[in-house]
Amino acid sequence: MTAATSISVRDLTLNFGAVSVLKTLNLDVAEGEFIVLLGPSGCGKSTLLNCLAGLLDPSDGQIWIKGQNVTWAEPSERGIGMVFQSYALYPQMTVRGNLSFGLKNAKMPQAEIDKRVARAAEILQIGPLLDRKPAALSGGQRQRVAIGRALVRDVDVFLFDEPLSNLDAKLRSELRVEIKRLHSRLQNTMVYVTHDQIEALTLADRIAVMRGGIIQQLAAPQEIYNRPTNLFVAGFIGSPSMNFLNGATVDGGRAFDFGGTRIDLAGYDGGAVGARDKAILGLRPEHLTITDTAEPGRTIPAIVEIDEPMGADSLVWLKAGEATISVRVPVERRPAHGAAVHLRVDIPKASIFDARTEQRI
Amino acid sequence: MADITSQIPASARSALGSGPRGPKPRRRLSPGNIMLYGTLFVVSVYYLLPLWVMIMTSLKGMPEIRMGNIFAPPVEVTFQPWVKAWSEACTGLNCDGLSRGFWNSVQILIPSVFFSIIVASINGYALVNWRFKGSDIFFTILIFGSFIPYQIMLYPIVILLREMGIYGTLWGLVLVHTIFGMPILTLLFRNYFSSLPEELFKAARVDGAGFWGIYFRIMLPMSLPIFVVAIILQVTGIWNDFLFGVVYTKPELYPMTVQLNNIVNSVQGVKEYNVNMAATLLTGLVPLIVYFASGKLFVRGIAAGAVKG
């Protein structure tokens, strides 16, 4: 472990009875890094966060924070602050009481408490709200106070458990920017749980995509988006999601055969493809272009079915043999319904998966 | 939700004020209303009539009672029966009325209510938030306890109290009440605490509060309604208890209910109906006052405790 490692999770396992929620999970988070744990419900992301916080005891494995083995330490002794989805503000205390509760428990002198509360209120712009009760605050203000409660503790690690899920769309994007600003100002290590891929892609230094208690891929957002390590990650990230074409790689891996249509794989950004009788070609909607002319080895013939205009872009759904393909086009270049067109494939940006192992080649 | 009218500009508000105001008018004498109020009237008469008879009888002298007319108000109002019931009526060897029983009941009631509620609320809190190995089994056994008829446990507890050296004392009875209140109260508190958001508890742990810190500073301030319900249940239950009182105490320490029975059911001499009525009213006064004073909170608390099981 290097000195710059903030959190180190080693072979962490958690079982609830016979159900295994986390399976020998390993994760190293660098100091000052913003890690997002992303995955569908039940993937173990919140469980992992609760283990980091010390709110759940692992069945096996260790957790190190700042070079200390904290696997069995109390939550308050781990140097963490946590922000919850439901804000979890103490309803009977004022905002000031909420912010200072943890500090009072730590027997901190009143002058220091006042100083820290004032600083947090200044950073989060909640100064005028300090003497109100949580019931008198709006959702956004409540979440700010909840962040402030983590802030006053002056900790190394911030843990966020879906902090924006209870807010409406507009507030959510506002607070998202604010969290990002907070991170660049404080430079703390942050671990952020969400099922919202927009939050993940915008906030994270690295994203850990989880499923079934296992981290599927841990990489920078662009890497995850462009080179998903397996079919699950490819399908989970991106909205609208990636198109998957079932076929085979032929000609020693130089081409992809899909219902008789051959696509040249020259320039593919990945490992040696080789010949596989069951392969999947993954194409994002923006990596396809609609043309009128067929180019052998580079295009797929398709019929336009429907389109969904979404402001600047339009999502066009086409039928190519058995498969349905979505393509993102500028709204002014929408093709007519029922038109027979050709889709040019951007192979350097595509992903090829082995259909058996579901891994990217 | 904020007051909506405060967000409307003053000009618009004055325009609102000029039209008709208040709730939509309703017809007062609709068939539905006649049915409703008719039923309510009959039911109130049904429940109030016995009370009326009791109060009237307790204010009459014996000669007037012998004339019959139990519904008629007293011709000559006398408070003598009340005085006699409180301080002169004889039960066994003692002739100091119900007052002795009243103070006995108070001495039983206060510690019983206090201890049973404190222990049950901590039980409920621990069962929800500090789940330990076997906590589910513990809870099941506790709930099972409330289905065992009292009669089965009556004699074993006599032996138990005797061995502990507190049989026949007030503290023995307090212990019995505390134990028997445990299943239902624990269930009540457990359900209430599990309806509180779990994240509050987690946040408090991250903030460094321990078992007692969270109980006293986070949970208790949020639990007023359920404490009121528990207090009402226990006060009325323990005050009205007869069986435990008569089994586990001795005559000088009998609670008010047992003394009431002894006054009303004494077979010697003339039946003094007015004294009996006054004694019964005196005994029922405490639960009655509790209900009147806390009716609203009681309903709120029952509703709060029932949200989630």
The string of pLDDT tens digits covering residues A24-40 is 999 999 999 999 999 99
Do both A84 and A40 map to the same domain? yes
Shortest CA distance from B213: residue in chain A = A105
Judge whether residue A1 has pLDDT over 50. Answer: no
Kindly state whether A75 is in contact with chain B, defined as any CB-CB distance less than 8 angstroms. yes
pLDDT at B113: 95
Strands of the sheet containing A19-30, edge to edge, are A19-30, A5-16, A60-65, A68-69
pLDDT at A268: 87
The verdict on a CB contact (< 8 Å) between A84 and B207 is no
The answer to whether residue A104 sits within a structural domain is yes
- Residues 115-154 on A with a CB inside 8 Å of B are 146, 149, 153
**Residue % of chain A over a pLDDT of 70:** 99
Judge whether residue B297 has pLDDT over 80. Answer: no
The verdict on a CB contact (< 8 Å) between B203 and A88 is yes
pLDDT at B1: 42
Do both A86 and A65 map to the same domain? yes
Number of domains making up chain A: 2
The mean pLDDT value for A196-205 works out to 92
Do both A255 and A313 map to the same domain? yes
Kindly state whether A81 is in contact with chain B, defined as any CB-CB distance less than 8 angstroms. yes
ipTM: 0.85
The verdict on a CB contact (< 8 Å) between A90 and B204 is yes
The pLDDT tens digits of the residues spanning B228-251 come to 889 888 999 999 999 999 999 888
The pLDDT tens digits of the residues spanning B4-14 come to 445 555 555 55
Do both A202 and A282 map to the same domain? no
The answer to whether residue A361 sits within a structural domain is no
- Tell me how close the Cα of B222 comes to any Cα of chain A, in angstroms: 7
The answer to whether residue B2 sits within a structural domain is no
Q: Is A335 helix (H, G, I), strand (E, B) or coil?
A: coil
pLDDT at A3: 47
Do both A199 and A323 map to the same domain? no
The answer to whether residue B3 sits within a structural domain is no
The verdict on a CB contact (< 8 Å) between B200 and A82 is no
Do both A106 and A192 map to the same domain? yes
The verdict on a CB contact (< 8 Å) between A75 and B222 is no
Judge whether residue A244 has pLDDT over 90. Answer: yes
The verdict on a CB contact (< 8 Å) between A53 and B202 is yes
Sort out which chain A residues have CB atoms less than 8 A from B217's CB and list them: 101
Predicted structure pTM score: 0.80
pLDDT at B17: 54
Do both A231 and A247 map to the same domain? no
The verdict on a CB contact (< 8 Å) between A76 and B199 is no
Q: Chain B residues with CB-CB distance to A under 8 A? A: 197, 199-200, 202-209, 213, 217-218, 221-222
Mean predicted lDDT score pLDDT of chain B: 85
pLDDT at B229: 87
Name which residue leads in pLDDT, B9 or A135: A135
The answer to whether residue A359 sits within a structural domain is no
pLDDT at B301: 63
**Residue % of chain B over a pLDDT of 70:** 89
The answer to whether residue A199 sits within a structural domain is yes
The mean pLDDT value for B135-148 works out to 86
The mean pLDDT value for A223-240 works out to 91
The mean pLDDT value for A174-195 works out to 92
Do both B63 and B179 map to the same domain? no
pLDDT at A2: 47
d(CA A134, CA B269): 68
Choose the final residue of a domain: A201, A236, A271: A236
Choose the final residue of a domain: A206, A236, A266: A236
Strands of the sheet containing A243-250, edge to edge, are A261-264, A255-258, A243-250, A276-283, A351-354
Do both A224 and A203 map to the same domain? yes
Most confident of B171-185, B257-271, B288-302: B171-185
d(CA A216, CA A274): 24
Reduced to 3 DSSP states, what percent helix, strand and coil does chain A have, rounded to the nearest 5?
30, 35, 35
The pLDDT tens digits of the residues spanning B91-105 come to 766 777 888 889 999
The answer to whether residue B35 sits within a structural domain is yes
Do both B71 and B187 map to the same domain? no
The answer to whether residue B120 sits within a structural domain is yes
CB nearest to A90's CB, from B205, B208, B218: B218
Choose the final residue of a domain: A204, A236, A268: A236
Do both A218 and A276 map to the same domain? no
**Residue % of chain A over a pLDDT of 90:** 55
Choose, out of A101, A133, A154, A165, the residue to mutate when testing the contact with B (most B CBs < 10 Å): A101
Do both A23 and A126 map to the same domain? yes
pLDDT at B308: 36
The answer to whether residue A26 sits within a structural domain is yes
pLDDT at A317: 93
**Residue % of chain B over a pLDDT of 90:** 41
Distances (CA, A) of A187 to A149, A205, B42, B80: 17, 12, 74, 83
Name which residue leads in pLDDT, B298 or A326: A326
The verdict on a CB contact (< 8 Å) between A105 and B209 is yes
Choose, out of A59, A70, A90, the residue to mutate when testing the contact with B (most B CBs < 10 Å): A90
The pLDDT tens digits of the residues spanning B166-205 come to 998 899 999 999 999 999 899 999 999 998 889 999 999 9
Location of structure tokens 């004339």: B67
Do both B177 and B293 map to the same domain? yes
Reduced to 3 DSSP states, what percent helix, strand and coil does chain B have, rounded to the nearest 5?
75, 0, 25
Q: What is the CATH number of the domain that holds A278?
A: 2.40.50.140
The answer to whether residue B204 sits within a structural domain is yes
Do both A36 and A90 map to the same domain? yes
Q: Which domain holds residue B254?
A: 99-305
Sort out which chain A residues have CB atoms less than 8 A from B206's CB and list them: 53, 55, 75-76, 80-82, 102
pLDDT at B134: 86
Do both B125 and B35 map to the same domain? no
Do both B158 and B47 map to the same domain? no
Do both B143 and B192 map to the same domain? yes
DSSP annotation of B88: T
The answer to whether residue A168 sits within a structural domain is yes
Do both A9 and A110 map to the same domain? yes
The answer to whether residue B66 sits within a structural domain is yes
Judge whether residue A18 has pLDDT over 90. Answer: no
Kindly state whether A105 is in contact with chain B, defined as any CB-CB distance less than 8 angstroms. yes
Judge whether residue B306 has pLDDT over 70. Answer: no
- Which positions ≥6 away from A112 have C-beta within 8 Å? A103
Nearest to B28 by CA among B39, B41, B37: B37
The answer to whether residue A186 sits within a structural domain is yes
Nearest to B194 by CA among B234, B228, B222: B222
Q: Which domain holds residue A248?
A: 243-354
Q: What is the CATH number of the domain that holds A47?
A: 3.40.50.300
The pLDDT tens digits of the residues spanning A274-330 come to 888 889 999 999 999 998 888 888 899 999 999 898 888 899 999 988 889 999 998
Number of domains making up chain B: 2
The verdict on a CB contact (< 8 Å) between B203 and A84 is yes
Choose, out of B206, B217, B219, the residue to mutate when testing the contact with A (most A CBs < 10 Å): B206
- Tell me how close the Cα of B9 comes to any Cα of chain A, in angstroms: 22
Name which residue leads in pLDDT, B95 or B79: B79
At A209, the pLDDT band (50, 70, 90 cuts) reads: very high
The mean pLDDT value for A151-178 works out to 90
Do both B207 and B283 map to the same domain? yes
